[in-house]
Amino acid sequence: MMGPQNYEVENKKILDDFKDLLENKPEKTKKRIKLSWSNWGFGMEPLEDSLKRLSNNGISYIELHGNRYGPDLGYGSGETKKILSEYNMKVSGICGMFSAESELSSNSPTVRQRAVDYIRRNLELGHELGAKYFLVVPGAVGRSDAYDDMEFARSVETLKIVADDFKKAGIKGAIEPIRSAEVSFCHTFSDAKKYIKEVGSPGIQHINGDIYHMLVEESHIGKAIIDAEGILTNLHMADTNRDALGGGFLDLDTVIRALYIIGYNNDDSAFVTPEPLGPGGDPYPAMYGRPDGDKLDRLVSRTAEYFKEREEEVL
């Protein structure tokens, strides 16, 4: 008789721990995980249209595109607050965008300064709108080849310049590890922890995970989540094909169990945030695309419905 595969052994450990939680501490499973959505994948769609779609699908939080690319660009806090209020929505966090033109690890000081200025503008946006976290990518999305062997050191040095600003804004700095097909370094939760340690700032102490990247970089997604207890503050979601949840073969039940085991559902500043962007080595062009409202409606409704369905099923 054949024994279980390695991932099945880990799945069994998580299932056993989850059953123990249900049996011995049922009060810790009463709250549900807070579902958010990252809106930069909606392209050039007006914010009000996005908020209406999310609200209609029972989603109460939005991860806003960090689009203050300059003093005259991006969301204005007054109008944005008004629209959020109309749809009874809250901002979970700000999705920081780090391309080769504005990144922390560049060998060009001009580019690094641009990233510093960008972070400060968008921390201000997050503070004005009550965001809980700001997502930071140590490298450049869409640039998988390293400039040299000093990228990690330059990135740490540059982020240190603005690290105290996170604390002042009351916003958690959340480092996102991204698959090696899209960035040149910081690919795993372990890499992110090392990076956080090197920055050494109270303002930069958290991780923004992404299931799609974890599928190819982590040895076991559920175990990585459990090992990030207390520092995981947001988890981007997409199925194995980077499409709507339920459209691939992701073991979502194990992900949900792992999140409950670490008390994610009871953390007021922890979110699950779908970000189904489709395949490819550089997803950033999606932020400038022409939105297909019907397609986006289906994407959101399928994902929200499936996540909530599986959450109730495992409980």
Query: 23 in a domain, yes or no?
Result: no
| Strand partners for 35 | 272
Q: What is the pLDDT of residues 114-130, one digit of tens each?
A: 999 999 999 999 999 99
Average pLDDT over the chain, rounded to an integer: 96
pLDDT at 282 over 70: no
Q: Are 254 and 244 in contact (CB under 8 A)?
A: no
First to last CA, the chain: 31
For residue range 198-234, what is the model confidence (pLDDT) as tens digits?
A: 999 999 999 999 999 999 999 999 999 999 999 999 9
Q: Containing domain of residue 267, as a range?
A: 43-237+244-314
Work out the average pLDDT over 310-315: 98
Is residue 142 in a domain?
yes
Whichever domain contains 136, its CATH number is: 3.20.20.150
pLDDT of residue 62: 98
83 lies in a domain? yes
Q: Which residue has the tokens 């409704």?
A: 301
Per-residue pLDDT band for 280 (boundaries 50, 70, 90) equals: low
pLDDT for residue 155: 99
Q: Where are the beta strands (DSSP E) in the chain?
A: 61-65, 90-95, 133-136, 172-175, 204-210, 232-237, 271-274
Dihedral angle of Cα 98, 104, 107, 109, to the nearest 10 degrees: 110
Name the pLDDT band for 281 (thresholds 50, 70, 90).
Answer: low
Between CA 37 and CA 65 the distance in angstroms is 10
- Burial 92-112, CB ≥16 within 10 A → b, else e: bbbbbbbebebbbbbeeeebb
Q: How many CB atoms are located within 10 Å of the residue 6 CB?
A: 10
Measured distance CA(159)–CA(37) in Å, rounded: 26
The C-alpha atoms of residue 208 and residue 192 are separated, in whole angstroms, by: 9
User: What is the tens place of the pLDDT at every residue in 33-88?
Assistant: 999 999 988 988 999 999 999 999 999 999 999 999 999 999 999 999 999 999 99
Q: What is the mean pLDDT of residues 257-275?
A: 98
Phi, psi dihedrals of residue 204, rounded to the nearest 5°: -120, 85
Q: Mutual orientation of helices 47-56 and 77-86 as an angle, nearest 10°?
A: 30
Number of domains making up the chain: 1
Decide if 17 is inside a domain.
no
Q: Report the pLDDT averaged over residues 99-113.
A: 98
164 lies in a domain? Answer: yes
Question: What is the rounded distance in angstroms from the CA atom of residue 127 to the CA atom of residue 203?
Answer: 14
pLDDT-derived band at 104, boundaries 50, 70, 90: very high
Is 192 inside a domain boundary? yes
**Residue 110: is its pLDDT beyond 60?**
yes
Q: What is d(CA 279, CA 266) in angstroms, rounded to the nearest whole number?
A: 32
Is 174 within the bounds of a domain?
yes
Please determine, for residue 1, whether its predicted confidence score (pLDDT) is greater than 90: no
Residue 107 lies inside a defined structural domain of this protein: yes
**What 3-state DSSP class applies to 313?**
helix
* Confidence category of residue 291, pLDDT binned at 50, 70, 90: confident
